[in-house]
Chain A
Amino acid sequence: MSLYEITSFVLSIISASTPLLLAASGELITEKSGVLNLGVEGMMLIGAIAGFATAHATGNAMLGVGASAFAGAAIAMIFAVLTLSLLANQIATGLALTIFGHGFAALLGAGYVGIAAPTLQKLAFPGLSQIPFFGPVLFDQNFLIYFSFAVLFGIWWFLRKTHAGLILRAVGDSHDAAHAMGYPVLPIRYAAIAFGGAMAGIAGAYLSLYYSPLWSQDLAAGRGWIALALVVFSAWRPFWLLAGAYLFGGITYMSLYLQGLGVPIPSPLISALPYAGTVVVLVLISRDRRRTRLNQPACLGKSFHAVA
C-alpha cells in the first residue's frame, strides 16, 4: 500500500471513531459518578437534529455544535430529575430516554430530511499539515476531532489529578460515604449527567454536520449503544477509551474495506468482534473483585437515598 492509501485509510478510521469517542467520553464521566445512563442513543439524535437545524438556520456549523451540546444536556436533565430527585430506576429511565429521544428527534427533524446544511470545515495548521502522513492525520482535521482529543485528555487529567475528580470518583464508588463527608452527591451527579448529555449531543452533531452530513431519523444507527459498550470495554479508563474507540470504529470500517479487497470473511461476523471483545474485557476486569473495585464505580446504577 502506498503512503497515500495508508494515510487515507487512517483518516477514514479516525473519522468513523470520533463520534464514538465523544459520546463515550461523556458517558464515562456520568458512570464514574455512579449513574448508568442508557439513553445515549436518544441524546445523540436530539443533539444531531438540534445541531443540524441550528446550522441550517444560521449558516454556521459551529453554532450548530453549540446548540447540540445544549440540547443534549437539556434532554439529559429529564433523566437526571427522574433518577436523582424522583429516585426512578436508572435502567428503565435510560431506555425511556432512548425511545423518547428517538421519537422526539424524528418529530423535530421531519422537515429537515433531504436538505443540505453547512458542514464542519477542516482546520489546517499551516505548514504542519503538509508533513506526509502526520500532516493530514494530526494537523488537518475538523474542529471536533481536535476537540475529542482535548476532551479525552481533559477527562484523564480531571479524574486523576484534580480534587474535584477525586470527589466525583468518591461519589461513584460510595455515595453514602461521600455524603457523610459532606460532599453534595446529587449536584455532582446532575453535573455529570449534564456533561454526558452534552457530549452525546456533540457526537450527534458530528454525525449530522460532518460524517454523513444530512438528517435522517436513524442517523445514530446504534452508535449510542456502542458508546456504552466502549465505556465498559475501556474499564472506565480514559486512554483505554481512546484505544477502544479506534478499535470499534476501525473494525466497522475494516469489515467494509476487506469486502472491497475480496476477502471472504462474512462482514457481520467481523462486525460482531467489538461486542464479543467487550464481553471478554468485562469478564477479565470483573473476575478479580479487588481489581474491579479499582475501576468499576461500585455504585453504578444504584439510586442514592439520602439518609438525613
Chain B
Amino acid sequence: MFRLEPRGERSAFWTFSSPVLAVLLTIITMGVIFAVMGAPPLTGIETFLISPLLTVSGLSSLAVRAAPLIMIGVGLAFCYRANVWNIGGDGQFTLGALAGAGLALFFPNEAFWWFYPVVLIAGVLGGMFWAGIVAVLKLRFNANEILTSLMLVYIAQLVLVWLVTGPWRDPQGFGFPQSAMFSAGATTPNIFGTTMHLGCILAPLIAIAIWQIMGRSVLGFQLRVVGQAPRAARYAGFSNAKLTWIALLVSGGLSGLAGIIEVTGPIGQLTTTITPGYGFTAVIVAFLGRLHPIGVIFAGLLLALSYLGGDAAQINLNLPNAITGIFQGVLLFYLLGADILILYRLKRVRPVVKATVLTPEPAE
C-alpha cells in the first residue's frame, strides 16, 4: 500500500519536474490513443507535436494562436496568486472586443495615427469594466467570484450576439450576423508580412512585465501574501479590498486587450463567435504555467501547438479533431496529479505485523 506523507516544504525538484513528467505521460498516452485509432504512434506524435513547427507559416500560426492565450493566462495567473478565482476571462475578452469595436464602428473614417491605440485602450477598459462588476459583487455583497464571473461570460456572449444581429449589423452585409469590417485605422498591424500581429509581441512583453511586478514590487509581494496567507496579510495591514480590485482589474484589462486585438486583427470585424473558449483554455494555461508569467508563455505555446497539431492530424492522418481536446484534458489531468508530489511524498507502508515486542508501538 502507498500512503501520501507531507514533505513539510515544497520540493524544488518536483516543482520543475512535475510539468515535465506530465508532458511525458501525456505523450505516451497520446501514442496509445493514436495506436488504438489506427495511426502509427510515432508518426502521430510527430505530426501532432513536431510538424506544425517545421514551416515558417506554422511558427507564425503558433504565435497567433498563442498570443491571446498568453495574454489572458498571465492576467489569470496574477489574479489566482491573490486567491481570486476569476474564470470569466471569456466574458472580459468579449467586453473588451465590444468596447473597442464600438469605438471603431462609430468612427469608421478616423485616420489619425493615435486612433488605433485609443481603440486598444477602450478594449482594456471594457475588460476592466466587466471584471470590475465581479469585484463589486464580491466585495460589497460577498458573492462568490467563480460563479459571478462565469455567469457574466454568458451575458457578455449574448450581448455580443444581440449587437451583431441587431444594432451593429453591417447594413451592407446582406443580413449576415456580423458587423462592418473595421477601417485600416483600426486594424492591428501585421509583422513583416507574416500572419503574426502586434499581439504576438505584446503578449510576451506583458508576461515579463507582470513577472517583474509580481516578483519585485511591493504590490506583487502584497498580492502573493494575500493569496497564500490571508490572515497574515490582514495583520500586516494589506488591504484585501484594494488587492482584490487590482487583481480583477488587471486580469480583466488583459483579457479585454486580447479581445480587442483579436477582433481588430485576425478577424477584422465583430461576429457571433469571436472566442473559441480562450478564457477557459487560459485557465489551463495559467495552471500549466504554475501561475508564473514565464511559465504561462511556455504553457500558452504548448496549448497553441496542440490546436495546430490537431489540425495537422486531421489533414494528414485522418484523425478526428477531438484529438486536441483530449490532449489538453489529459495533459492537465496528469499535471494536476503530478503536482501532488511537490507537497507530498509517496511512502510505502508495510502491513503492521503484530509481534510480541517490548518496545511500545509508534504513536500514529
Binding site for B on A (CB under 8 A): 36, 38, 78, 81-82, 85-89, 91-93, 95-107, 110, 217, 222, 225, 228-229, 232, 266, 268-269, 271-272, 275-276, 278-279, 282-283, 286-287, 289, 292, 296, 300-301, 308
Least Cβ–Cβ distance between B126 and chain A, in angstroms: 17
Whether the pair A278, B151 counts as a contact (CB closer than 8 A) is yes
0 or 1 for each of B121-141: is its CB under 8 Å from A? (1 = yes): 000000000000000010011
Whether the pair B144, A282 counts as a contact (CB closer than 8 A) is yes
Q: Is B337 an interface residue when CB atoms closer than 8 A count as contact?
A: yes
Whether the pair A91, B141 counts as a contact (CB closer than 8 A) is no
Whether the pair B283, A95 counts as a contact (CB closer than 8 A) is yes
Least Cβ–Cβ distance between B46 and chain A, in angstroms: 20
Known: A78-B333, A91-B85, A92-B336. A272 touches B325 (CB 8 A): no
Please tell me the number of chain B residues within 8 Å of chain A, measured between CB atoms: 49
Residue in contact with A101 in the complex, picked from B151, B158, B161, B329, CB distance below 8 Å: B329
Cβ of B364: which chain A residues have Cβ within 8 Å of it? 308
CA of A95 to CA of B172, assembled, Å? 40
CA of A81 to CA of B133, assembled, Å? 35
Whether the pair B154, A91 counts as a contact (CB closer than 8 A) is no
Whether the pair A96, B284 counts as a contact (CB closer than 8 A) is yes
Closest 8 CB pairs of A and B: A100-B329, A103-B325, A106-B322, A88-B336, A96-B332, A268-B162, A272-B158, A103-B326
Residue in contact with B165 in the complex, picked from A36, A268, A276, CB distance below 8 Å: A268
Contacting residues of chain B (308-352) with chain A, CB-CB under 8 angstroms: 320-330, 332-333, 336-337, 339-340, 343-344
Least Cβ–Cβ distance between B291 and chain A, in angstroms: 10
Known: A268-B161, A268-B162. A91 touches B147 (CB 8 A): no
Closest to B338 in A: A86
Q: Is B146 an interface residue when CB atoms closer than 8 A count as contact?
A: yes
Closest to A105 in B: B322
Tally of A-B residue pairs with Cβ under 8 A?
Answer: 155
Known: A96-B329, A99-B325, A283-B137. A91 touches B87 (CB 8 A): yes
Cβ contacts A to B, 23 pairs, < 8 Å:
A36-B146, A88-B339, A92-B287, A93-B333, A95-B87, A95-B332, A96-B284, A96-B328, A96-B336, A99-B332, A100-B329, A103-B322, A104-B329, A228-B147, A228-B150, A229-B150, A279-B143, A279-B148, A282-B143, A282-B148, A283-B141, A296-B144, A300-B144
Whether the pair B87, A283 counts as a contact (CB closer than 8 A) is no
Whether the pair B336, A93 counts as a contact (CB closer than 8 A) is yes
Cβ of B325: which chain A residues have Cβ within 8 Å of it? 99-100, 102-104, 106
0 or 1 for each of B83-116: is its CB under 8 Å from A? (1 = yes): 0010100000000000000000000000000000
CA of A102 to CA of B326, assembled, Å? 8
Known: A107-B320, A272-B154. A95 touches B147 (CB 8 A): no
Cβ of A87: which chain B residues have Cβ within 8 Å of it? 340, 343-344
Q: Which of A36, A95, A105 has the most CB of B within 10 A?
A: A95
0 or 1 for each of B37-72: is its CB under 8 Å from A? (1 = yes): 100000000000000000000000000000000000
Q: Is B194 an interface residue when CB atoms closer than 8 A count as contact?
A: no
Cβ of A286: which chain B residues have Cβ within 8 Å of it? 141-144
Cβ of A229: which chain B residues have Cβ within 8 Å of it? 147, 150-151, 154
CA of A101 to CA of B328, assembled, Å? 11
CA of A99 to CA of B326, assembled, Å? 7
Whether the pair B323, A103 counts as a contact (CB closer than 8 A) is yes
Residue in contact with A99 in the complex, picked from B144, B287, B329, B343, CB distance below 8 Å: B329
Least Cβ–Cβ distance between A234 and chain B, in angstroms: 12
